[in-house]
Amino acid sequence: MDKFRIRGGRKLRGRVQIGGAKNSALPCIAAALLTGESVTLHNVPYVRDIITQGRLLEDLGAQVLRPELRTHKISAANIEIFEAPYDLVKTMRASVLVLGPLLARFGKAKVSLPGGCAIGTRPIDLHLEALKHLGAQVSLEAGYVVARAPHRGRLQGGEVNFDKVTVTGTENVLMAATLAEGKTVINNAAREPEIADLAELLNRMGARVRGAGSPTITIDGVEHLGAAEHTIIPDRIETGTFLCAAAITDGELELKDCRPEHSAIVIAKLREAGVEIEEVNQSTLHVRCCAEGLTARDVVTEPHPRFPTDMQAQYMALMTQAAGVSRITETIFENRFMHASEMQRMGADISISGNTATVRGVTRLMGARVQASDLRASACLVLAGLVAEGETVVERVYHIDRGYEKIEAKLRAVGAEIERVRESVTAQLPPAAEVGVS
Ligand code: EPZ
């Protein structure tokens, strides 16, 4: 398995191009199942989860072409299989996003329950309850969700009230509702920018979605959806990660092709902590640390538009270099502090009580061999390695490859001393040619 070898102490300086949002591309790829016509997606990040999602669609019978590395041209005209298998879903839970589209277009779907992952049990009970409100019959058989639309194979519009905000739950039922008979209202919908991006694609395909990005989404079902072309929004979590990278190394970066408005709460929190961030224009951020250094600031993770859980680990790394005590409270996932124990091995002063981590800074971090446990924990350890004294080896970086495109190349281009140590062929992303880039 690949590792990153990092020598800390370098101040990052230069320009970083932000890629497309993994968590928007994943539902948008699944949305292509809603039509037999061609759906073209641009600015799709070349990361492992996207390759996995594309392969799932191909296993179902769709054609997925990549005329360029970050462009997907998908045609789901010949879907012959309606099942997302366990061995795939357990590696990437976002594959449950094929459930809503398959059920809506074909009246049937069989999707493995995803099982838990490093950060939590990750149930999909809310997805299933929501689909039942659209008339779906749902049963659990040998670890699989078996869903049917009993009314002539078509879902019926209805009212969905989510007890808890769920991003992919909102996305699954939003996609299903586009082809349901009649009107659907989704209450307590997730408000993440990726929801609005998915709705924009669906409306380009001929859907009638209103209110995406607000807590209430209304969908008037249509008979068919058609071809569309769409550009995926920039990745707000990659943006936040590089904002932290500039701040933690006392460097200065310009982030291009980002969307500052999607990172408003992260920018506000970092500014409170002493990071100087200028919104140069609608797609460019300029960031550097203030002369006085960083100040500890508390944060609580909550659904958008509050502070994102996907930035919690990166923020924790930054707070080890901030003067004072910060309390980081994780309210979304039950087990998302695993990076803390690896940070402690680097000398960080972090104590955990329940769902709150208390970080005391400023601590000198010392390079060490550390192990990544999940996608965002990996990013946290890379950030720590950038500021630690000596060498840090981050193991199991296949986690980071799931959601960051060539992060070591982007960091090296702005002065980081980081290299990928390839441990085996299997752990690497397939060469572009192998994934059908013509
Ligand atoms: C999405 O996961 C993101 N993944 C996650 O990003 C992100 O951390 C999460 O939303 C929260 O923002 C994608 O978009 C592909 P949820 P999702 O359903 O949809 C509970 C990353 O690092 N819940 O909003 O799976 C759940 O256990 C990944 O890019 C239920 O109880 O998250 C959690 O506690 C990690 N029942 C909370 O709700 C359900 O049916 C929020 O989960 C669904 C969720």
pLDDT digits (tens, 9 = 90+) for 86-95: 888 888 989 9
CA 395 vs CA 342, 403, 422: distances in Å: 11, 16, 11
Distance CA 8, CA 193 (A): 34
CB of 249 shorter than 6 A to ligand 1: no
> Ligand 1 pocket check: which of 332, 338, 401 to mutate, most ligand atoms within 8 Å of Cβ?
332
> Ligand 1 pocket check: which of 89, 117, 122, 380 to mutate, most ligand atoms within 8 Å of Cβ?
122
CB of 104 shorter than 6 A to ligand 1: no
pLDDT tens column, 410-430: 999 999 999 999 876 555 566
pLDDT tens column, 296-311: 999 999 999 999 999 9
Exposure string over 118-145, b if 16+ CB within 10 A, otherwise e: ebeebebebbbbbbebbbbebeeeeebb
CA 261 vs CA 15, 191, 238, 312, 414: distances in Å: 19, 14, 14, 19, 24
What's the pLDDT score for residue 433? 67
In the predicted structure, residue 113 carries a pLDDT above the cut 60: yes
pLDDT tens column, 219-261: 999 999 999 999 999 999 999 999 999 999 999 999 999 999 9
- Using the atom order of ligand 1, give the atom closest to the CA of residue 304: 12
In the predicted structure, residue 106 carries a pLDDT above the cut 90: yes
Which residue reads 């990549």 in tokens? 66
Its CATH class, for the domain covering 22-231, is alpha beta
Strand order in the sheet with 391-395: 369-371, 391-395, 3-7, 417-421
CB of 395 shorter than 6 A to ligand 1: no
Q: Do domains 3-19+234-427 and 22-231 have the same CATH topology?
A: yes
Beta-strand (E) ranges in 125-251? 137-141, 144-148, 159-161, 183-187, 209-210, 216-220, 228-231
What's the pLDDT score for residue 330? 98
Question: What amino acid positions are annotated as catalytic residues?
Answer: 117
151 band by pLDDT with thresholds 50, 70 and 90: confident
CATH number for the domain whose boundaries are 3-19+234-427: 3.65.10.10
- Using the atom order of ligand 1, give the atom closest to the CA of residue 94: 15
What's the pLDDT score for residue 43? 98
What pTM was computed for the model?
0.96
120 band by pLDDT with thresholds 50, 70 and 90: confident
CB of 376 shorter than 6 A to ligand 1: yes
What's the pLDDT score for residue 436? 62
- Using the atom order of ligand 1, give the atom closest to the CA of residue 121: 27
Distance 278 CA to ligand 1 centre (A): 30
What's the pLDDT score for residue 435? 67
pLDDT tens column, 18-41: 999 999 999 999 999 999 999 999
Chain-wide mean pLDDT for the chain? Answer: 95
The values of phi and psi at residue 242, to 5°, are -75, -30
Q: Once rounded to an integer, what is the mean pLDDT over residues 305-334?
A: 97
Distance CA 81, CA 69 (A): 26
141 band by pLDDT with thresholds 50, 70 and 90: very high
Distance 257 CA to ligand 1 centre (A): 26
Domain residue extents for the chain: 3-19+234-427, 22-231
CB of 184 shorter than 6 A to ligand 1: no
434 band by pLDDT with thresholds 50, 70 and 90: low
